[in-house]
Amino acid sequence: MEYFPAIPNARYEGPDSKNPFAFKYYDPDEKIGEKTAREWLRFAVAYWHTFTDGGADPFGAPTLRRPWNDAPTAIEAAEQRLDAAFEFFEKLGVEYYCFHDHDVAPEGETLAESNDNLDRIAKLALEKQKQTGVKLLWGTANLFSHPRYAAGAATNPDPAVFARAAAQVKKAMETTKMLGGENYVFWGGREGYESILNTDMKREQEHLARFLELAADYAREIGFEGQLLIEPKPKEPTKHQYDFDAATVIGFLDAHGLADRFKLNVEANHATLAGHEFAHDLAIASARGMLGSIDANRGDLLLGWDTDQFPTTLSDAVLAMIVVLRQGGLAPGGLNFDAKVRRTSIDLDDLFHAHIGGMDAFALGLKVAKRILDDGVLDLNIRKRYAEWDSTLGEEIESGKATFATLAERALEHGEPLRRSSEQEKIENIFFRYLVTR
């Protein structure tokens, strides 16, 4: 069965096109420096939002009727969903997808039944991947929806839940490997707490580290060569999540000797929930060589929760792509649209408009970022601003020759340091000009 018969394949038609199903800025084969747009962007569709969820929210029932989810049994619905997903990937021209185990295959009555369901769907998914050339960017396990995980998975007060979560990650990782997944993601769904009064925080954090270590050991044991990624998020569902933001996760990995085994999957909406700009978390991760992949979406500052909207803010996309270009790309990571259409956007067409808009925003963001970096305007200003660090004094500090005693002598000799403008408004105006000129 075809689910999107009336929708044409999305193609690049250029900025003057009025066709809502065409890309205005994303030309996959366009060379941007040494790579094509496709190679820089590595777009992925999130299975859960686009095919599985129905738009329910805390105040209301699902609003999005997806024909593929209508079937006599959950496993038949999962098979239809897979057909719809691969038809969608091909029509959109996207190369990657991402899933949680239970987005693609329903959870059974027992663990064994859940594993069988996943095997059955994964086998079909592998065939579809071979037929279409679409690949798996990352897999993950849903360790937050089932009631057993209400008080966390790895950080649960009950080790039986820890063991159950381990079994689920083991299976999800084996499946990701079987499907050639290029990464595996850990998002600490309910790894946090609600009240300090009933929480042994130290122990919970140690358990989380142990879980990650065991997972990394298992990945090595089965020869999974994909990158392991941790996705920070400050809150929601729990009040305090242990993987608060990029800096917290890096500190946590350092503290537990795990920093060389994981990188980060940074999500825009999670960075803003943590009180940061998206680019801040990207820059923190990238500075440590730990920016592995991106969940491209946006929140709504007026709502303040994880709205997971499609990203269409050009300045955010430009700032993100500046970080990506500076580090030479994201591979084996990519840009996953962890985003959902609004629950009032009920047509199947809306799924295409949403993804096309997000892809165009990042493609244009890439081109603008490349021009900014090629013209050297930011680098020039930064070099000028930090130029004194190339003087003898700067060299002595950076190389470790200086001590507090020598610095105090220097300060006495030097007198009051010169004050220099940061020229922030001038730089903001330059940035603005790049946004509006093509």
Smallest distance from the beta carbon of 116 to ligand XLS, in angstroms?
A: 23
Length of the chain: 438
Could you give the CA distance from residue 257 to residue 262 in angstroms, rounded to a whole number? 11
User: Does 243 contact ligand XLS by CB under 6 A?
Assistant: no
Residues that contact Ca ion, how many (by CB under 5 A)? 6
User: Does 267 contact ligand XLS by CB under 6 A?
Assistant: yes
Smallest distance from the beta carbon of 338 to ligand XLS, in angstroms?
A: 5
User: Does 295 contact ligand XLS by CB under 6 A?
Assistant: yes
Q: Which residues in the 249-288 window bind Ca ion by CB under 5 A?
A: 267, 269
Of ligand XLS, Ca ion, none, which one sits near residue 204, judging by CB under 5 to 8 A according to partner kind?
A: none
Of 3 and 97, CB closest to ligand XLS: 97
User: Does 233 contact ligand XLS by CB under 6 A?
Assistant: yes
Of 24 and 183, CB closest to ligand XLS: 183
Q: Which residues in the 201-230 window bind ligand XLS by CB under 6 A?
A: none
User: Does 360 contact Ca ion by CB under 5 A?
Assistant: no
Dmax over CA atoms of the chain, in Å, equals: 84
What angle (nearest 5°) sits at the alpha carbon of residue 98, between those of residues 293 and 104? 160
Does 270 participate in catalysis according to the annotation?
Answer: no
Backbone φ, ψ for residue 239 (5° rounding) = -70, -45
User: Does 174 contact Ca ion by CB under 5 A?
Assistant: no
User: Does 306 contact Ca ion by CB under 5 A?
Assistant: yes
User: Does 53 contact Ca ion by CB under 5 A?
Assistant: no
User: Does 281 contact ligand XLS by CB under 6 A?
Assistant: no
Of 267 and 360, CB closest to ligand XLS: 267
What is the x/- site pattern for ligand XLS, positions 137-156, by CB under 6 A? ---x----------------
For the purposes of burial, counting CB atoms within 10 Å of the CB of 304, is it exposed (0-12), middle (13-18) or buried (19 or more)?
A: exposed
Of 187 and 242, CB closest to ligand XLS: 187
> Of the candidates 276, 313, 287, which has an alpha carbon nearest to the alpha carbon of residue 298?
313
Of 245 and 295, CB closest to ligand XLS: 295
What is the x/- site pattern for ligand XLS, positions 326-355, by CB under 6 A? ------------x-----------------
User: Does 309 contact ligand XLS by CB under 6 A?
Assistant: no
Does 100 participate in catalysis according to the annotation?
Answer: yes
When binding is defined by CB under 6 A, the residue of 185, 253, 294, 348 that contacts ligand XLS is: 185
Q: Residue by residue, what is the 3-state secondary structure of the chain?
A: CCCCCCCCCCCECCCCCCCCCCECCCCCCCEECCEEHHHHHCEEEEHHHHHHCCCCECCECCCCCCHHHCCCCHHHHHHHHHHHHHHHHHHHCCCEEEEEHHHHCCCCCCHHHHHHHHHHHHHHHHHHHHHHCCEEEEEECCCCCCHHHCCCCCCCCCHHHHHHHHHHHHHHHHHHHHCCCCEEEEECCCCEECCHHHCCHHHHHHHHHHHHHHHHHHHHHCCCCCEEEEECCCCCCCCEECCCCHHHHHHHHHHCCCCCCCEEEEEHHHHHHCCCCHHHHHHHHHHCCCEEEEECCECCCCCCCCCCECCCCHHHHHHHHHHHHHCCCCCCCCEEECCCCCCCCCCHHHHHHHHHHHHHHHHHHHHHHHHHHHHCHHHHHHHHHCHHHHCHHHHHHHHCCCCHHHHHHHHHHHCCCCCCCCCHHHHHHHHHHHHHCC
Of 174 and 308, CB closest to Ca ion: 308
User: Does 245 contact ligand XLS by CB under 6 A?
Assistant: no
Q: Which residues in the 59-98 window bind ligand XLS by CB under 6 A?
A: none
Residue nearest to ligand XLS (CB): 187
Which of 100, 102, 270, 276 is an active site residue? Answer: 100
Of ligand XLS, Ca ion, none, which one sits near residue 140, judging by CB under 5 to 8 A according to partner kind?
A: ligand XLS
When binding is defined by CB under 6 A, the residue of 174, 231, 245, 316 that contacts ligand XLS is: 231
Stretch that binds Ca ion, among 199-207, 246-254, 289-297, 392-400 (CB under 5 A): 289-297
Contacting residues toward Ca ion, per CB under 5 A: 267, 269, 295, 306, 308, 338
Contacting residues toward ligand XLS, per CB under 6 A: 100, 140, 185, 187, 231, 233, 267, 295, 306, 338
Catalytic residues: 100, 103
